[in-house]
Amino acid sequence: MSRRRATRLGVLGPAALLFAAASLDFVPHAAAEYADVVLNKRAEREGVRPVVFPHWFHRIRFRCKVCHSELGFKMRVGSNDVLMSDIIDGRFCGACHNNQIAWGPERCDLCHTGKPGLPSGIYGGHETGGPGRW
């Protein structure tokens, strides 16, 4: 660290360090952080609408590792094989959408909101449309 920077940090004190730490946390890793992810590997084939997963909405509430390590969601769109039976058994989305942490799996209409024909992928950029927009 240069002497000048050290001095400035010294003057601003812990508040500046806190701010620096907070901004680091917001460095974007991928567009998905700020967007919606459509999951449609099986949904439409099995007669329901594609799923719109508001990634940003979740990302600001939970740490990445909750989903991408503890719940086993691979960090690549379309790479996860999610069955409704898994969700009802408390895996993947069902770890939270269980009527305890969040509303439960019987609310089909809140997850299966994608417009028919929508392929799996990331929709939106620095915004999240939420359910039903895509």
Chain residues binding ligand HEC by CB under 6 A are 29-30, 32-33, 37, 39-43, 46, 48, 51, 53-55, 57-59, 61-62, 64, 66-68, 71, 73, 75-80, 82-85, 87, 92-93, 95-97, 101-103, 105-108, 110-112, 120, 122, 130-131
- Pair 102, 96: CB distance under 8 Å: yes
Least spacing, CB of residue 16 vs ligand HEC, in Å: 24
Pair of tokens at residue 20: 């620096």
Residue 5 or 65 having the CB closest to ligand HEC: 65
Residue 53 or 134 having the CB closest to ligand HEC: 53
Pair of tokens at residue 69: 């390590």
CA separation for the pair 90, 66 (Å, rounded) = 14
Least spacing, CB of residue 23 vs ligand HEC, in Å: 14
Instruction: Catalogue the long-range contacts made by 93-102 (C-beta closer than 8 Å, 24 or more residues apart).
Output: 93/53, 95/71
